[in-house]
């Protein structure tokens, strides 16, 4: 018999959640410290109220769905990623997962606990949505237009590198030689001091401001609330045992690159990177830094280096395998159906506009976006 509840209050740093997380098939984005910062730092400012679904068996916490209830005319429930979590999965104790997912009373109990709502959305589900469909009782599942990218490392950096494309490794070698001229020494180190982390984050923000100004993209790091979230998550990594990890790339002890990711005993996961593009635009610092991070992952005995979401070709160059991503939607009213349809159309429009901008940059420099979109429609038809 399972007891299902939905509450605005939940202690992510409690012993019971830490115990559940340690025994669950979850990701680093469901880590206690990460979720605690999402709810404490981001939710209020993003117009989101906590709606945490808990499932207990004989008093023991066996599953959690970290949700938020969005404020607005549409009664919308969402997984609590708020733009910062790349993987959204339920947290279920491994020893009860099969029985829990097979119990037909659980989806009904979850829907009852959630109360009135028009739409429930879980936006970034890796590999398979089977567990969520079982928990929610037959929601819609959509294959997303992007993948996750995970590198399986092996035990030797030399072996891993020898399996890469020779032209790619030669490119990196040439960039390293250029960096090494004029007695420049390249080094990578992880930061543990919070003052050093703050200084590195300020640099990363400036590096990214310059880089993103030419890319027509929104950089969450420039938003004060998101910046504070990432900074606090980095502090947690240094002072509370994870999962955040802040690393700097230096040339002659001067910081030229900053990376923030999440880590556990088997995996390092990429979240943010910024580097001095203005001064080192021809040195491929981003690629060099990724390779340095992979080298450290292998040296530390990690099994995976996770480059997370996107279409970027460099991820395949590093040997990443694509993992499909899904979104799960449960519409409960006509208003919810309309909201889901509008969101899908908006996503498709944004995807097409990005393709148009990329095509213009490559083939039609100087033309307006409307001309390029018309050209693309002609090619597609």
Q: What is the DSSP string of 345-356?
A: HHHHHHHHHHHH
Q: Which residues pair with 306 in a beta bridge?
A: 150, 269
d(CA 9, CA 142): 31
Integer-rounded Cα Rg, in Å, for the chain is 22
Please indicate whether residue 92 or residue 209 has the higher confidence score (pLDDT): 92
Residue 83 has pLDDT above 50, yes or no: yes
pLDDT of residue 333: 55
Q: What is the mean pLDDT of residues 163-191?
A: 91
Average the pLDDT over each of 98-102, 156-160, 259-263, 280-284 and give the range with the smallest value: 280-284
DSSP 3-state of 161: helix
**Residue 219, CB-side half-sphere exposure with 13 Å CA sphere:** 19
Helix %, strand %, coil % for the chain, to 5? 45, 30, 25
Please indicate whether residue 135 or residue 331 has the higher confidence score (pLDDT): 135
Residue 83 is given by DSSP the state T
pLDDT of residue 180: 83
Q: What is the mean pLDDT of residues 305-333?
A: 87
Residues 6+ apart with CB under 8 A from 41: 225, 228, 229, 232
pLDDT of residue 114: 92
> How much is the pTM?
0.85
Residue 244 confidence class, pLDDT cut points 50, 70, 90: very high
d(CA 380, CA 374): 10
Please indicate whether residue 311 or residue 95 has the higher confidence score (pLDDT): 95
The 10 Å CB-count burial string (b at 16+, else e) for 334-343 is ebbeebbeeb
Among 233, 251, 282, CA closest to 189: 251
Please indicate whether residue 77 or residue 211 has the higher confidence score (pLDDT): 77
Residue 116 confidence class, pLDDT cut points 50, 70, 90: confident
Q: Strands, DSSP E only, in the chain?
A: 2-7, 48-57, 60-70, 76-79, 91-92, 119-126, 140-152, 186-191, 244-251, 254-263, 267-275, 304-310, 321-331
pLDDT of residue 32: 97
Residue 303 is given by DSSP the state S
Q: What is the mean pLDDT of residues 149-175?
A: 94
Residue 359 confidence class, pLDDT cut points 50, 70, 90: very low
* Cα three-residue angle 149-152-157, rounded to 5 degrees: 120
**CA distance to 11, 86, 166, 186, 351, per residue, from 146 (Å):** 33, 11, 27, 33, 10
**CA distance to 173, 174, 176, 274, per residue, from 170 (Å):** 5, 6, 10, 23
**Does residue 243 have a cis peptide bond before it, meaning omega lies within 30 degrees of 0?**
yes
Residues 6+ apart with CB under 8 A from 321: 149, 150, 151, 152
pLDDT of residue 211: 80
Torsion of CA 18, 23, 25, 26, to 10 degrees: 10
Q: Are 373 and 380 in contact (CB under 8 A)?
A: no
Q: Which residues pair with 257 in a beta bridge?
A: 249, 275
Strand 267-275, strand 304-310: pairing: parallel
pLDDT of residue 365: 45
d(CA 276, CA 258): 9
DSSP 3-state of 24: strand
Query: Which domains are assigned to the chain?
Result: 2-144+324-332 (3.40.630.30), 154-302 (3.40.630.30)
Residue 344 has pLDDT above 90, yes or no: no
- Average pLDDT of the chain to the nearest whole number: 86
d(CA 7, CA 18): 18
Q: What is the mean pLDDT of residues 21-49?
A: 94
Q: Which residues pair with 322 in a beta bridge?
A: 149
Q: How many CB atoms lie within 10 A of CB 41?
A: 20
Residue 76 confidence class, pLDDT cut points 50, 70, 90: confident
Residue 363 has pLDDT above 70, yes or no: no
């Amino acid at each position: 018999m399972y007891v299902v509840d939905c509450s605005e209050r939940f202690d992510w740093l409690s012993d019971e959640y830490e115990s559940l997380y340690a025994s669950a098939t979850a990701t680093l984005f469901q880590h206690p410290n990460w979720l605690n910062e999402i709810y404490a730092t981001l939710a209020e400012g993003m117009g989101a109220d906590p709606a945490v679904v808990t499932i207990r068996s004989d008093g023991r916490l066996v599953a959690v769905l970290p949700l938020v209830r969005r404020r607005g005319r549409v009664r919308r429930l969402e997984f609590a990623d708020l733009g910062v979590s790349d993987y959204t999965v339920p947290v279920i104790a491994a020893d009860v997962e099969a029985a829990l997912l097979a119990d037909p009373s659980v989806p009904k109990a979850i829907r009852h606990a959630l109360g009135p709502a028009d739409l429930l959305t879980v936006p970034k589900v890796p590999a398979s949505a089977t567990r969520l469909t079982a928990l929610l009782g037959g929601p819609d599942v959509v294959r997303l237009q992007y993948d996750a990218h995970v590198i399986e490392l092996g035990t030797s950096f030399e072996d891993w590198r020898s399996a890469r494309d020779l032209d790619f490794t030669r490119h990196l070698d040439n960039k390293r030689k250029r960096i090494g001229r004029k007695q420049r020494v390249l080094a990578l180190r992880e930061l543990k001091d919070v003052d050093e982390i703050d200084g590195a984050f300020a640099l990363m923000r400036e590096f990214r401001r310059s880089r993103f100004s030419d890319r027509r993209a929104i950089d969450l790091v420039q938003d004060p609330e998101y910046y504070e979230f990432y900074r606090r998550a980095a502090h947690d990594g240094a002072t509370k045992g994870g999962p955040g990890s802040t690393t700097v790339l230096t040339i002659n002890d001067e910081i030229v690159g900053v990376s923030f990711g999440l880590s556990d005993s088997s995996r390092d996961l990429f979240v943010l990177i910024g580097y001095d593009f203005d001064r080192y635009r021809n040195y491929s610092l981003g690629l060099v830094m990724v390779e340095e991070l992979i080298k450290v992952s292998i040296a530390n005995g990690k099994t995976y280096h996770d480059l997370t979401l996107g279409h970027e070709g460099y991820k395949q160059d590093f040997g990443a395998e694509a993992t499909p991503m899904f979104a799960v939607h449960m519409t409960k009213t006509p208003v919810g159906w309309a909201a889901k349809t509008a969101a899908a159309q908006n996503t498709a429009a944004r995807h097409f506009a990005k393709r148009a901008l990329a095509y213009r940059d490559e083939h039609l420099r100087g033309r307006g976006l409307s001309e390029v979109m018309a050209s693309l429609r002609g090619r597609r038809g």
